[in-house]
């Protein structure tokens, strides 16, 4: 009878693994949150609400359609589906989805802008090496 025996723990990862790497941690700033200040971190950050200030992420930043953010934003990858007032610096790429509304400057070596996205500001396309050098300093 197996009534008293311990169950074996599963060794299956709970998150999907791609290319042999565990996925980066994701931080979700969801409904009911309003943040103001300086935020630095590593991983993936998704904003669904308001933020005002300076944000620097080693990883990916996503601004959802329900979010309106204001300030300076720097990350390896930036995906905008909401409203941004301020500057964006994507050291690898910036993607503006159809619902994106950006009033400010964008600096990136690679820009993907979908039909319907709005950008009112300066666009600076830098070589990837220049962006990465600035990120290290």
Q: How far apart are CA 19 and CA 24, in angstroms?
A: 13
Say which residues have a Cβ less than 8 Å from residue 125's Cβ, sequence separation at least 6: 108, 109, 110, 111
pLDDT at 6: 54
State the Cα–Cα distance between residues 137 and 10, nearest whole angstrom.
42
What does the CA dihedral 131, 90, 95, 85 come to, rounded to 10 degrees? -140
Q: How many Å apart are CA 20 and CA 28, to the nearest integer?
A: 24
pLDDT at residue 18 in the model = 44
Partnered with residue 44 across adjacent β-strands are 26, 60
Q: What is the pLDDT of residue 124?
A: 96
What is the mean pLDDT for each group of 10 consecutive residues in the chain (137 residues)? 50 40 70 89 93 95 95 97 97 97 98 97 83 57
DSSP class of 135: H
Tell me phi and psi for residue 82, to 5 degrees.
-115, -150
- Residue 74 to residue 108: CA distance in whole angstroms: 10
Which pLDDT score is estimated for 34? 86
21 DSSP 8-state letter: B
* Domains of the chain, residue spans: 26-136
Using alpha carbons, select from 42, 36, 51 the residue that is nearest to residue 83: 51
């Amino acid at each position: 009878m197996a009534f008293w025996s311990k169950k074996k723990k599963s060794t299956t990862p709970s998150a999907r693994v791609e290319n042999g790497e565990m996925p980066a941690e994701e931080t979700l700033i969801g409904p009911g949150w309003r943040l103001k200040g300086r935020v630095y971190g590593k991983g993936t950050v998704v904003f669904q609400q308001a933020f005002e200030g300076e944000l620097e992420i080693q990883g990916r930043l996503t601004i959802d359609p329900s979010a309106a953010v204001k300030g300076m934003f720097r990350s390896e990858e930036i995906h905008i589906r909401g409203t941004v007032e301020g500057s964006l610096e994507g050291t690898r790429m910036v993607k503006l989805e159809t619902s994106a509304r950006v009033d400010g400057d964008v600096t990136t070596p690679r820009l993907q802008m979908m039909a319907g996205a709005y950008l009112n500001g300066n666009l600076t396309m830098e070589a990837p090496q220049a962006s990465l050098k600035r990120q290290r300093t």
